[in-house]
Amino acid sequence: MVNNRKVRLMTRLAIYEKNEGREDIRLSKYYRADYVRLNVLRTVVAITIGYLLVVLIIGVYNSEYLIREAVTLDYRSILVRYVGAYLLLLTVYCALCMIGYMVKYRNSRKKLTKYFRMLRRLRSIYREESGELPTGEEMDTDDSINS
Amino acid sequence: MILLILEARAVLLRFFQKFQMVLTPLVKFFIAFITFHAINGSIGHEPHLMKLPAELVLSFIGTFAPAVILVLLAALVSLAHIYTASPILAILVALLMLILYCFIARFSGKYGYVVLLMPIMFILKLPYVVPLILGLVATPLTIIPMACGVLVYRMFVIIKAAAEMEVSMGINDILEMYIDVIDRFVADKQAIVLIGVFSVIMIVMYLVRKLNIDYVFEISIAAGTIAGILGFLFGDMYLHTQFDITGMVFGMVGAMALALIFQFFRMALEYSAVERVQFEDDDYYYYVKAVPKIKLAVPVRKVKRISEGADPEPENPEDGMVDFSPEPATTSKAERELTEEERYALGEELPDESLLEEFPSEQDENG
């Protein structure tokens, strides 16, 4: 016979797994520090590529001037200015990313906690069905996953 | 009148739920088709891509692929068109797209499709709907893809103008065109005003939406519209962009109407039946305001065919009665349970009591 409670719970679990859960479960394989570090690293790569492209576009834009003044240009100050701007950009982006991904990780963990709670309920239903009484551990709604 | 509209809403929602399997791909196909058609209409240069079969095939791929693929396909098709007009411009656009991706678009997350939606809505002359609806459903973080979408649109406007004035391909001409395009892109005041005002709309709507007042969503839409109109007026005054002010005002009002319709289908709330309750537990004191959602039972229409010689009480109902209701009118206990399951399967939040009911013995066993 169809167990309505079980079907409800499994539907909920499946909906979560299908949508946001997929990302949350993927994310749960990382420690928080690793996850944040990985994404900051990705950001560094993206910003570096983006910045190089911007420099390329500016270079082509000023190509006439650059060729004309190639001998008299103050390369040192240009380099300092562009590297400085790059470092500033990188710092701002990394800081924002670190905060953003930390918040994302925490939110995902919260949702995952709920998911695990439902899984535990499902397990207790299975146990009930097979005649065993659910143990206190299963009915417990602690946030052990949150650690 | 109101009741009639609510009934129509219930029927429509039910229809969508029932035929979701068919309607979702259809809607996606339609969106993809509009996308490719709009791209072809605005910057179409490559004749092969402009043929109907090509549009259909691309839309078909877009239907069954995730949104990211659709965005990618749209970008590639646009690049192909620009490449036919001018390879140099295509390279420049590709570079700008990459820069946009590296700096902005990669942070758009699940709202990445807004990057595509924004230019499409501009082409369809409905750009103001996007911030109003995003302000209603999303957080201000979606300003990121929105801004990206505006930049992409403005980039294409500039590129389109440049591609049309394409001249003979001397190295100096190319450089001149390149410098001209970059100049226009960097000094594009319209893009600045658009991004600024749209961001203001979304932030205002988000802040209003969080208030604890009745009709908060409708008020939020109105506030967003007013903020938008004022924003464009101020922007035009200070930056001297050549916006068509009358068109903007009408556009904003039209967008407000569309947003209100969207909100009506998303959620119709019954403010006259608000429940306010207060209670406490060990940690908190709760002030709860619960606004019920309007739910109407779909009316059951029965057409009784009266024809001569017909049995007044036919044994087989199909002989004499035509039932146009989507489901039989009887609601036995088993059936009612089934619909609840369906609601559940559709992802609707059931009140928490239903979860508690599932485990009535939870406390007893623990205790």
- Confirm or reject contact between A137 and chain B (CB < 8 A): no
Position A40 scores a pLDDT of 93
Domain check: are B254 and B321 in the same one? no
Whether B256 is in a domain gets the answer: yes
Domain check: are B245 and B121 in the same one? yes
Q: Which helix (H) or strand (E) holds A135?
A: none
Helix (H) and strand (E) counts in chain A: 6, 0
Q: What is the mean pLDDT of chain B?
A: 79
Nearest by CB: A136 against B102, B178, B366: B366
Number of independent structural domains in chain B: 2
Lowest mean pLDDT among A132-136, B219-223, B307-311, B335-339: B335-339
Domain check: are B340 and B204 in the same one? no
CB contact under 8 A, A8 and B107: no
CB contact under 8 A, B102 and A47: yes
CB contact under 8 A, A134 and B365: yes
- Average pLDDT of the residues in B225-231: 94
Is B118's pLDDT higher than 50? yes
How many CB pairs below 8 Å do chains A and B form together? 57
- Confirm or reject contact between A2 and chain B (CB < 8 A): no
Q: How far apart are CA B350 and CA B28, in angstroms?
A: 29
pLDDT-derived band at B45 (thresholds 50, 70, 90) equals confident
Q: Among B247, B266, B285, where does a domain finish?
A: B266
Is B211's pLDDT higher than 50? yes
Q: Which residues of A touch B344 (CB under 8 A)?
A: 8, 11-12
Domain check: are B246 and B346 in the same one? no
Is A48 within 8 Å of B108 (Cβ atoms)?
no
Amino acid in position B210: K
Position B167 scores a pLDDT of 55
Domain check: are B131 and B231 in the same one? yes
Q: Among B231, B266, B301, where does a domain finish?
A: B266
Q: Among B206, B234, B266, where does a domain finish?
A: B266
CB contact under 8 A, A139 and B366: yes
- Chain A 19-48, residues with CB within 8 Å of chain B CB atoms: 46-47
pLDDT tens digit sequence for B241-296: 777 888 889 999 999 999 999 888 887 777 777 777 777 777 778 777 777 777 76
Which residue's entry shows tokens 């066993």? B365
Whether B107 is in a domain gets the answer: yes
- Chain A 63-122, residues with CB within 8 Å of chain B CB atoms: 63-64, 100, 121
Domain check: are B253 and B328 in the same one? no
Residue spans of alpha helices (H) in B44-113: 52-64, 67-85, 87-103
Greatest CA separation found in chain A?
A: 89
Whether B202 is in a domain gets the answer: yes
Q: How far is CA A109 from CA A12, B138, B271, in A?
A: 17, 21, 35
Position A132 scores a pLDDT of 64
Domain check: are B204 and B333 in the same one? no
- Average pLDDT of the residues in B213-240: 90
Position B76 scores a pLDDT of 92
Is B208's pLDDT higher than 90? yes
Q: How far apart are CA A65 and CA A1, in angstroms?
A: 82
Q: What is the ipTM of this complex?
A: 0.74
Whether B200 is in a domain gets the answer: yes
Nearest by CB: B179 against A61, A134, A136: A61
DSSP B125-163: T-TTHHHHHHHHHS-GGGHHHHHHHHHHHHHHHHHHHHH
Nearest by CB: B182 against A50, A61, A64: A61
Whether B145 is in a domain gets the answer: yes
Domain extent for B257: 86-266
Q: What angle do CA A56, B149, B35 make, to 5 degrees?
A: 115
Whether B354 is in a domain gets the answer: yes
Is B333's pLDDT higher than 70? no
pLDDT-derived band at B95 (thresholds 50, 70, 90) equals very high
Whether B67 is in a domain gets the answer: no
Which residue's entry shows tokens 């209100």? B260
Domain check: are B342 and B238 in the same one? no
Domain check: are B320 and B191 in the same one? no
Is B187 within 8 Å of B150 (Cβ atoms)?
no
Q: What is the mean pLDDT of chain A?
A: 84
Whether B4 is in a domain gets the answer: no
Domain check: are B113 and B251 in the same one? yes
Q: How far apart are CA B253 and CA B244, in angstroms?
A: 14
Position B322 scores a pLDDT of 43
The percent of residues in chain B predicted with pLDDT above 90, rounded, is 20
Domain check: are B249 and B139 in the same one? yes
- Confirm or reject contact between B338 and chain A (CB < 8 A): no
CB contact under 8 A, B344 and A56: no
Domain check: are B157 and B243 in the same one? yes
Is A2's pLDDT higher than 90? no
Pick the more confident residue, A19 or B132: B132
Is A82's pLDDT higher than 90? yes
Q: What is the CA radius of gyration of chain B?
A: 27
Q: Which of A52, A139, A142 should be substituted to probe chain B, the one whose Cβ sees the most B Cβ atoms within 10 Å?
A: A139
Position B258 scores a pLDDT of 93
Amino acid in position B78: S
Pick the more confident residue, A142 or A126: A126
pLDDT-derived band at A85 (thresholds 50, 70, 90) equals very high
Q: Which of B103, B144, B333, B346 should be substituted to probe chain A, the one whose Cβ sees the most A Cβ atoms within 10 Å?
A: B103
Closest CA to B44 of B164, B188, B181: B164
**Residue B346 carries which DSSP code?**
T
